[in-house]
Every structure is written in structure tokens, then in C-alpha cells.
Amino acid sequence: MSRIRQIFAETLYDGESSSALHNRVVHLDGDRICRVEKAEPDMARSPDLLATKILAPGFIDIQINGAGDVMFNDAPSLRTIRTMCHAARKGGTAYLLPTFTTASNQSFSKAIDAVRDALSDAVPGVLGLHLEGPFLSPEKPGIHPPEFIRPLEAGDVALLRQATTGIRLITLAPEEDKIGAVKALASAGWVVFAGHSNATADQMHQAQEQGLSGATHLFNAMSQITVREPGVAGAIINSPTAVAGIIADGHHVHRLNIKMAFDMMGPERLILVTDAMPTLAGQAERFEIAGNKISLREGRLVDKNGTLAGAHLAMDQAVQNMVNFLGIDTGDAIKMASAAPAGALGLAGELGKIKPGYRASFTLLDQALNAAGVVVDGHYYQNDEPAVEPAEIEQSGGL
């Protein structure tokens, strides 16, 4: 890790325009961008600045369950979060929301405590917390353990309203909300997404009126578009304002469906996520979710029945897939990994763009869009840097 003051980019995508800029120097003042200037190509050889082939706004992953051989659910702790952030940076992720999935009772309180500790300790790259469950539809569990899925209760809402974990995103099934929890959580500052939901379009519309603003992993584990019922997928795609994460790994969603969603929602509303698991930048090819054995097979993470269990995907790979397999402009794919998630989290004024006044957050890429390093609030992290702490973590008994 090192603090930098200038970056030279042969090609720069600023997060606003879909077009590229060339031969630019970005000047930093501490943890902020102070100016962006045109430069001569030979400046790339200057020893006084950091040079890169492609410079993008720092990628933001709003859904990541694990990385570097650790799983947030297994040991929700400061050390786990540090390991996840370090491993995710290898794929170009500058910022993330550690994602805690369905577990027993109020186990999510441990995740709240862990993220609060990480923010207090200024772990680089942590923006807040994503809770995915347990308040889901029993009809759309996906890989989530069905025995722990349950409706929101008043005590849950009270606990969540008091959480101080920076950005707070929760995925729930709005049709299972019988106590006005969507409105209560949205009014308390939570970003509320629909996911693992069997809601109708009318139920989605009602939830949006209460403050629901998006959907988690579009098309997966949700009611689909049929002849007479748009479902969650159709409601989100046709909304003028709703956003959605999407897993562009070539396994979760057919490329034509991704292209349809992109064409209708654009790079401002469709967000690239990894839904990554411990195998991301890790050594192990097997892990467990609540006793369910998961294996990495030909790029897919599946249980013994073939059910998808998260993704073996990095953010730079997701960007590459949008460009190489769908023909999306590089600038638009980069927006989906930076400006779009920043906007969804209410951070459009400080992250997701390369312009004066914004936080000094960048993802450095080579010509093939492979991540070479990231800058987080003015500090440069190279891909070959060792972890601050060992990958081995304490075990807390799993889910």
C-alpha cells in the first residue's frame, strides 16, 4: 500500500460519458481528486507518477458473500472482512458491502457488529453491510437454508433501525412484509431491495411506494415475466427508477436476458455484482452453506443437486463478460461496476466518477480489462501485495 498524488492513464473512463478519454493525468489531494488534465504520452515514463493502461472509477461490489477462502456467514468478524476486502481487490473491487445471508434467528446481529468494527477500524474498502435474508419467500429460497427463512417481526425492525453500519442494504421478499417493515426500514435509511421473492407486479409497485428501490440478482430466485403477470423481474425492468444487481458470469442469467435488461434499464440502473463466495481469489474449491456442501465445477458453484450457490466471479471478469460476450461498450460496462452501484447506495456525489471533488477511488486495468490494482481513498494497492492478516480465521460454528 502506498499513497499516491498523480496517476497517468493512457485511456480513462470517467464514469459519466460512455466514451474514453486519452492521455490524462489525475491529480490527487489526499483522499480526493483535485483536477484532471490532458498530458503528453511520454509522461507515462515519469517516475513521479503511477501509470496505467486504463483507469476507471473504483469498482463497487454490493453483493459479496466471501473471498480469499473465508465466508462472512461462517465468521462475521473484523478479520474476515479484512480478508474479503484484500481478496476482492485482486479483481478490481475498490469498495464492497460484506453480505450476510440467511441464518438462524437474529444471527445477522453479529454481522452488524462486525461491520461496525470494520468501519471503526477504517478497513479500506468497506462501505457498509448487505443483509440478504432471512426475510425471504419460502417459495424462492435458492441456496438459502429454508429452515431459517422467516417473516420480519417488530423486534427485527427495531434492531435493524438502530444499526450503525454505514451504508445499509437489505434484501427481502416484499410480499412477506405484513408489518410495514419496508416503509420503516427505508425511512430509517436502509436501501431496500426485493430478492428471493415471489411477489406480483402489483405487490412490487406497492413496495416501491413504501421505499423499495431495487432488486437483488435480477432474474434469479424471483417471480418471472409471464403472459399476464410481470412478476418481480418485469416490475423492476419496467420501472423508470428501480435499480438491480445482475450476475454476469455466464451461468446465472442467459446472455439474451442480460442484454434485454441492459437495453431497457441502461448502465445507470443495471449493476454488476459478483455474489462471490470463498473461492474468489482463494485456494479451496469446496465449502459449506449450513451443512450443504458446495463445489466449484467448470466455473459454477453448485450443491449436489446442481443448485447454484453464489458465483465464482470477480468484478473485472463481469466487466469483461459484458464487453466480450454482449458487445456492450467498455465505458457502459465500467459504469455498471462503478457509477451505477454508487447511485444505488446514495453515493453518486462522491464515488463512481473521476472528477474533481470525488473520492480518490480507481480501478487500474490492463488492455484486456484485467485488474492490475486499485486506489482506495488515495492509497494504492497492487494485486501482488500480501494480505495484511493471514487468511486463516477463527471458526464460529458456521451458520
Binding site for Zn(2+): which residues?
A: 132, 196, 217
Q: Which residues are annotated as a binding site?
A: 132, 143, 196, 217, 220-221, 228, 252, 308-310
Taking the C-alpha atoms of residue 216 and residue 204, their distance in angstroms, rounded to an integer, is 13
| Cα–Cα dist 18/267, whole Å | 9
Question: Rounded to 5, what percent of the chain is helix, strand, coil?
Answer: 30, 30, 45
What count of Cα atoms within 13 Å lies in the side-chain half-sphere of residue 158? Answer: 3
Q: How many CA atoms lie within 13 A of 94 on its CB side?
A: 30
Cell numbers at 205, concatenated: 409497485
- Cα-based angle 328, 212, 223 (whole degrees, multiple of 5): 65
Report the distance separating Cα 174 and Cα 213, nearest Å.
11
Cβ–Cβ under 8 Å, residues 340 and 60: no
Tell me if residue 72 falls in helix, strand or coil. Answer: coil
Candidate list 177, 249, 275, 332, residue with the active-site label: 275
Residue pair 162/180 in contact by the 8 Å Cβ criterion: no
Inter-residue contact 31 to 3 (CB < 8 Å): no
H or E segment and range at residue 331: helix 330-337
End-to-end Cα distance, the chain: 34
Identify whether 303 is a catalytic site residue.
no
Q: Which amino acid is at 129?
A: L
Q: State the residue for C-alpha cell 468497506.
A: 126
Binding-site residue ranges for substrate: 143, 220-221, 228, 252, 308-310
Q: Looking at the annotation, which residues are catalytic?
A: 275
